[in-house]
Each structure stands twice: as structure tokens, then as C-alpha cells.
């Protein structure tokens, strides 16, 4: 089978597509024939080395990626929590996503069922980005009618957070470049330009009750300037910046994936895709992701 791997840390140039032996499901595990994988910044932060790899105890040789969707084709001895061959699922497979077959222990890595009519690539796109957006919004919005500022609102997490916040009855302000203003309006947000002078622009849009920074720490800094308490700020790309907390590191025991999939399948939650390509274009896809300013998700198709 095909598997994207790397023997040393570095940029996309260290990644290679190799032919390797097929894995098989052990007791309590399932094997998934991967149809699509969605990319996340944490993927390249791991294969680049540094804190993202060290905090997870990861050393090469390693595979790549996390977010998968596909069909279970093998169940290990003793079963696996009720999952059976033929079930279409999506979920996590850390460093084992960009490969034709991957083995998952459902007791350790959350799997959810793909609803009828939901594309595999869109389902995969909900794993990290969806759970992150879900948790941020759930933590920050205490009641309907509050105003939340989402920094980096046109990105993969940001777009989902805008929609989830709007569903909870919040007024949403989202920062983006002007080319993405119409997109944000279509999702229910009031757009504001990011960059220098952000706090002054937010001052004209008060009151603001909370800040969900999906792009770094500048959003939190601006929110603090206009009076948002640090206790109502979350940042996902610069955890701890200015004292802001992050999202939950493990949402495996929540129903977030099932709820997100249901909303996406019904069309109530729009999953935006920046680009979609076959597995063989993995290096190009990660170069695009590392370049920043990606609007929506990047998906690699394996089937």
C-alpha cells in the first residue's frame, strides 16, 4: 500500500510516498480503507520537529497527518466497540492518515459514523478543525445575544466557529482580509480587517464579550485593548499568549463529531474547501498550507 513517510524532521522535502506492507487490525482495533484525509497545521509542525513532535513523544520514521474518512474493512479479534466491516467512519489517526490503509483503536482515537450524503473529504475536514471550533465556541459563549470576536475567521477553524457561534445566538465579528469580507457576511459575521489598527477598528464595534483567536495572538491583544477580560479569550495557534487559554486537547469522549457531521450532512454547517487533490500531490498541499492565508480546508483524496 501507499504511505507518506519521513525519516528525519524538516520541511515538505523530507516527505516521501512509499510502498509498504499493509497493517492489520489487532484485538479491539479496526482497519480503515482511507478515502480522504484533511490537512492541518499541526501536521507540518510535527514533521518539522520541535515542540509539536516533542510534546507527543514522536520521532522519525513517521507517517503523516491525522484527519481521515473511509470504510472499515477489517475488525480485530474480540470486536471493536460495535464497529463492523463496511461501516463508513471518520476520525483521528495521528501520523497514520496519508496512507491507503490505517489501523485505529476506537477506545483511544475517536471515530464517528459518516452520515448518509456527507462526502468523505468534508467529513475528514471536521475532525481537528471542527472539534477545535466546537470547543472554543462552547467555552466562550455563555448565553445568546453575546458578541464574540473571531480572529482569522476565514480559515478552516474560523469559518466553522463563525457558524457555530451564530447558531448559538451570538453576534459574530470576524477578522479577515477584505477579499474574504463577503464570505464572512454569507456565514453570518460582521467583517473587520485584520492587521495594524485592529483594536481601533474593534473599538467602533463594541460591545465585545469574548475573543476566539484562530490566527495567533494579535486578536487576543486587540481584544484586551478594548476591554475583553482574559478569562473570555481563547487562542489556538499561540496557546498561553497574554495568558489566554486554549481549547481542550482531547475531545474524544464528546459527541462533537457526531453533531458536526449531522449539521454538515444537512447543509446547516458549510465546510469550505480551499483545494482538493490526489494523494500524490501531498508535498504541494503542505507547501500551500505552510504558506498561510488558506481559506477553508485542504483535502487529499486517496480513493
In terms of pLDDT, which residue wins out, 34 or 240? 34
pLDDT of 50 above 90: no
In a domain, 194, yes or no: yes
Residues 52 and 104 in one domain: yes
CATH code where residue 199 lies: 3.40.50.720
- Assess whether 205 and 224 both reside in one domain: yes
Across residues 268-279, what is the average pLDDT? 96
Let me know whether 217 and 290 are in one domain: no
Whether 253 is in a domain gets the answer no
- pLDDT at 250 (0 to 100): 53
Q: For 274-294, what is the mean pLDDT?
A: 95
Within a domain: residue 199? Answer: yes
Task: Among 196, 227, 243, give the residue marking a domain's end.
Answer: 243
- Position 11 in a domain: yes
The whole-number average pLDDT for the span 73-90 is 96
Q: How many domains does the chain have?
A: 2
In this prediction, residue 216 has a pLDDT band, given cuts at 50, 70 and 90, of: confident
The pLDDT of residue 255 is 73
What digits encode the pLDDT tens for the residues 166-177?
A: 999 999 999 999
What confidence tier does 18 reach under pLDDT thresholds 50, 70, 90? very high
Q: Is 263 inside any structural domain? A: no
Torsion-angle region of 116 (φ positive above 0: left; ψ -120 to 50: alpha; else: beta): beta
Which stretch of 105-109, 199-203, 251-255, 280-284 has the lowest confidence by average pLDDT? 251-255
The domain of 100 spans 2-125+271-301
Same domain for 12 and 110, yes or no, is: yes
Domain assignment present for residue 264? The answer is no
Is residue 89 a part of any domain in this protein? Answer: yes
CATH number of the domain enclosing 276: 3.90.180.10
Omega before 61 cis (within 30°)?
Answer: yes
For residues 151-177, average pLDDT? 96
pLDDT, one tens digit per residue, over 113-144 is 999 999 999 999 999 999 999 999 999 999 99
Residue 135 maps to a domain: yes
pLDDT tens for 233-267 read 999 977 778 888 888 655 554 579 999 999 999 99
Same domain assignment for residues 106 and 153 = no
Averaged pLDDT for residues 57-81:
96
Amino acid at each position: 500500500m501507499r504511505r507518506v513517510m519521513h525519516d528525519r524532521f524538516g520541511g515538505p522535502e523530507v516527505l516521501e510516498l512509499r510502498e509498504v506492507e499493509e497493517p492489520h487490525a489487532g484485538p479491539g482495533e479496526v482497519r480503515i480503507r482511507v478515502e480522504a484525509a484533511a490537512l492541518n497545521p499541526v501536521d507540518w509542525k510535527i514533521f518539522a520537529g520541535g515542540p509539536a513532535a516533542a510534546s507527543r513523544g514522536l520521532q522519525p520514521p513517521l507517517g503523516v497527518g491525522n484527519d481521515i474518512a473511509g470504510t472499515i474493512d477489517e475488525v480485530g479479534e474480540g470486536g471493536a466497540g460495535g464497529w463492523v466491516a463496511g461501516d463508513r467512519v471518520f476520525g483521528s489517526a495521528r501520523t497514520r492518515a496519508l496512507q491507503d490503509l490505517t489501523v485505529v483503536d476506537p477506545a483511544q482515537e475517536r471515530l464517528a459514523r459518516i452520515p448518509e450524503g456527507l462526502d468523505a473529504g468534508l467529513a475528514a475536514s471536521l475532525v481537528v478543525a471542527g472539534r477545535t471550533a466546537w470547543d472554543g465556541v462552547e467555552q466562550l459563549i455563555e448565553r445568546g445575544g453575546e458578541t464574540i470576536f473571531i480572529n482569522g475567521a476565514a480559515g478552516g477553524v474560523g469559518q466553522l466557529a463563525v457558524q457555530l457561534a451564530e447558531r448559538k445566538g451570538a453576534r459574530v465579528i470576524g477578522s479577515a482580509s477584505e477579499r474574504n469580507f463577503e464570505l464572512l457576511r454569507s456565514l453570518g459575521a460582521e467583517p473587520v480587517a485584520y492587521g495594524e489598527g485592529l483594536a481601533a477598528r474593534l473599538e467602533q464595534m463594541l460591545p465585545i464579550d469574548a475573543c476566539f483567536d484562530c490566527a495567533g495572538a494579535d486578536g487576543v491583544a486587540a481584544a484586551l485593548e478594548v476591554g475583553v477580560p482574559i478569562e473570555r479569550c481563547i487562542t489556538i495557534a499561540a496557546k498561553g499568549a497574554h495568558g489566554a487559554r486554549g481549547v481542550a486537547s482531547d475531545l474524544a469522549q464528546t459527541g462533537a463529531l457526531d453533531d458536526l457531521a449531522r449539521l454538515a450532512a444537512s447543509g446547516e454547517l458549510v465546510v469550505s474547501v480551499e483545494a482538493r487533490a490526489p494523494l500524490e500531490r501531498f508535498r504541494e498541499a503542505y507547501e500551500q498550507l505552510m504558506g498561510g492565508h488558506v481559506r477553508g480546508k485542504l483535502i487529499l483524496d486517496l480513493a
